[in-house]
Structure 1
């Protein structure tokens, strides 16, 4: 500073950089190029997504991530390229100043169980602030270290008996290699943590790392909300990547991708492929349909699970490209009724839906569109607009061109959304498609009586779907009870006995040696669509046990013709006739109740029963009851 005294300017002597340092610099700084593609699980491209490449370092239970290169957007085929410059050979103290650290839950989950093996250690609770506070592990002290950025001290004095920087909250990264040697003497050898490159089991000097260690984070906004679709963790790190790296990133189920589509058929035809998605539950896996004529009719997974359908059901398939299918309606009839019984689906049972398409001609991120396909009145009927008619009436005619046009990605082949509850009595029904022409202005033609479309491929059964419908009535939920007010299914615990003594709900009983346990209960469904039930006992601090698997446990039906299960396959083996298992009153007997009641405690027996129904294309029907009491031993 004294050189500046009384001067406005200061001239410094030139710094000569010798050739050897130029050579090192060329090796210390290199250009890296990452080329990749983001796809969904089926390999479909994910366009319009933001890709972030992150260099990751982790130390003890802290991690640090910093983005390398720019954020890039995937093109219509899901491809991206990231180019960046990477330098190494930093002074440790300077490298450390450039990083920001945070606690990492995955590292905590790996390290803390190892720390608990040393009962004498008193490691402080993890903190987001990095510190070398390892004194409680009692490793050997570290030798004196140079000041940050300084020169090595010259000393001949013995090593200080104090722990020095090992308990310091001031981080000096130059002490890390020596600290590792000493910690390894106090910590158990854990090959898994060494394999995962967790310090101190694995050496760590990242300021000398001349190749980055990369993970990826990908986000996408395809519905008005940013969603993380790829979020790699530290244990997915690509260590020491080459200067040219190729990757394929698989997005999660939140991503919007562009799936390949089979071309639409040509002509006045319909192909009903299934329900509840594309592929969803295909017609070939529903009994009574063309690809699976064997029964039971209308049940999904016929001959195994025998699942009926409940409440909302979506129909899926394709329509031929023809003026006769510009609009269409869904017709139905009871399965065993004659052809004269075909009628329009009740209007109250129909609902509109949306489709989604990606338009590569629009600027990012406004490339995602969600047109609605609402129901339109046609006399006393309600009809849907077909997808191909929407395309024809919404130019430009660039549909299907991923690079320079529009591509459907959501609900591409959905045909209809049906609400069966309150509109269809329980039973088996046939469904088909009737097509209608449009007027010049695009509206449905009121003078067209419509045509029942042929089945595509000259197979009329392709325009036919058989479904077994089974809904339930539920009363208002009573406050303070787990039991649902319904008979579909119903369940209850009738009595609990220890030996000859009846145990009342909220009662208490002393357990004598060699005393049997008896639990009488019922599980029932009037439609015969029981799937399985569970009978569990819970006590104490989180203890739970399956009563049906206690050694010596036996199940019996109470009364004639009752199959105790406890699941549909066992009930069929016990005499139930597919697809019906109605259940009934049952009894569980366990010869030695001491296996159930190990300690004096309050116990709760929980009974839960499920039906086989596919509810709203994904949920289930169930019911529950429990019974609590105290046992002293």
Structure 2
């Protein structure tokens, strides 16, 4: 406790007696515990600074700068400050008069979350004392040491969240599970999706999204992929454009979008680095707030591909790998697997026969109405990788008219994966289907005289996260049908 000039005269004798014991500086320790408004939740990672308060004439006070000491709140909410006391030489009686200031990295910038002023001074604090503080600021990012990292979104957690519009929650993608198959909307338990648009692999350009907790202490990251089960890894090198919204002009009508690339860049001899938008410009609108990479999936062979991040933090003028105290990689979705399939399906009408005789395109087919009269179409709707979604052969004529119902024998003119899923995510379709339009079934009332387009379409289940990349691939065959 510092003494005013008036008190100095009164205490002069006492000071002279105690001078030998109190003029020597020594190490002083103050312990603290900080909690947020919810019991058990603490401002983990907050930076604590302690300042000395000096009395001024007239009963006012001044904050003595710089800070006596700086510490960091640990995961239990505790911190320890050690400094030399007396701080500036001279004579002191009792302990220091101090206040605390907390700052915390919130969305990439240091925000004050707890500030004491002179009216909140802790007077004559004893060495090794423990002071409890309550942090009520809405800017404080708090965590609970009793809660697992996966349930605390505002900490140092990283995880992949989406591929395009597909949530990783709906992808069999957990990198920690050796049986993960990398399909979107998997039919297998516990997902148990149904329908033709299930067990979808991925292909083409994949927009990958992820969550970086606001307390992540990283400067750059890279996204890596492995097509051999994690034995070897390569960096994603695709450009990652972005835009942020500038509101710096005094006239709001002049506010505008500004382009800024998130990478890849090179720094300190490390290539293919990316930046997190809300760490680069916190509290700023971004077009792509959480897109972490764009992956050209044609760079790998079809099959399972693993993805992970490598994070880096600043150390002076160099980058070093981040540790678990800087960022927590989620055990489920911090590394993911995706089933890649860029092989197109084969969709082709192979032959058309009238009563067993092949007919080329543009011919006239004299199609009778007897039981032995038939038009046979031989076609192929086949996917080598086993990811066919559906196919359909349509006989189209006139003005947007088509023959209905479609034939079902000897092969179906229309089928889908939902009808053929049998405990495996694979359905190839057929290499040589034959379907018959029989004259006594497809009478002139159903299949009249006209020019016809036989259109075969097939879709594959491969998606880029927004839609199918092989949707309604088609082949056509044109003839004219003449009925008696």
Q: Same fold (TM over 0.5)?
A: yes
Q: From 273, 287, 301, give the equivalent of 1:425.
A: 301
1:447–1:506 Cα change, 3 Å: same
Return the offset for 1:411: 1.2
**1:372 Cα offset (Å):** 2.7
In 1, distance between residues paired with 2:255 and 2:315?
A: 31
Question: In structure 2, what is the equivalent of residue 584 of structure 1?
Answer: 431
Q: 2:181 maps to which residue?
A: 297
Aligned residues: 318
8 A contact 2:313–2:321 mirrored in 1? no
Structure 1 partner of 2:14? none
Q: Is the 8 A contact 1:288 1:294 kept in 2?
A: no
Change (3 A) 1:374 1:360: same
Match of 1:448 in 2: 320
Match of 2:255 among 358, 367, 377: 367
CA contact 2:348–2:475 (8 Å) conserved in 1? yes
Alignment gaps of 5+ in structure 1: 1-261, 392-398, 401-405, 473-487, 558-562
Give the number of the structure with larger relative contact order, counting CA–CA contacts within 8 Å between residues 6 or more apart: 2
Q: Secondary structure at the match of 1:437?
A: strand
* Contact 1:539–1:601 (Cα < 8 Å) also in 2: yes
Of 509, 526, 541, the match for 2:384: 526
User: Partner residue of 2:57?
Assistant: none
Contact 1:328 1:384 in 2 (8 A): yes
Deviations 1:189-226 (Å, cap 9, x if unpaired)?
A: xxxxxxxxxxxxxxxxxxxxxxxxxxxxxxxxxxxxxx
**Which is richer in strand?**
2
| Counterpart mapping for 1:435-584 below 5 A | 435-438=311-314, 446-451=318-323, 456=328, 459-472=330-343, 488-514=344-370, 515-540=373-398, 542-545=399-402, 549-550=405-406, 553-556=407-410, 566-572=415-421, 577-584=424-431
Task: Give the equivalent residue in structure 1 for 2:480.
Answer: 630
Relative to structure 1, the CA distance from residue 513 to residue 307 in structure 2 (aligned partners, 3 Å threshold; closer, same or farther) is same
Q: Secondary structure at the match of 2:332?
A: helix
Q: Deviations over 1:281-322 (max 9, x none)?
A: 11110013279x697611111114111111111111221335
Shift in CA distance, 295/588, structure 1 to aligned 2, threshold 3 Å? farther
> Unaligned stretches of 5+ in structure 2?
1-140, 143-151, 188-193
Give the distance between the partners of 1:526 and 1:302, measured in 2 at CA.
Answer: 20
1:284 paired residue number: 169
Decide which of 245, 248, 251 is 1:357's aligned counterpart.
245
Question: Which protein is richer in helix relative to its size?
Answer: 1
TM-score (norm 1): 0.45
Matched, 1:320 2:221: no
2:235 is matched with: 345
Secondary structure at 1:566 match in 2:
strand
Q: How far does residue 428 in structure 1 lie from its aligned partner after superposition?
A: 0.9
**Secondary structure of 2:252's aligned partner:** coil
Q: Secondary structure at the match of 1:606?
A: strand
Runs of at least 4 residues of structure 1 off by over 4 A?
Answer: 262-268, 293-296, 450-456
- 1:4-403 equivalences in 2 (<5 Å): 265=153, 268-276=156-164, 280-289=165-174, 297-303=181-187, 304=194, 305-322=198-215, 324-334=217-227, 337=229, 341=231, 343-347=233-237, 350-357=238-245, 359=247, 362-370=250-258, 371-378=260-267, 379=269, 381-391=271-281, 399-400=282-283
Distance, in Å, in 2 between the alignment partners of 1:411 and 1:494 is 47
Q: How far does residue 597 in structure 1 lie from its aligned partner after superposition?
A: 6.3
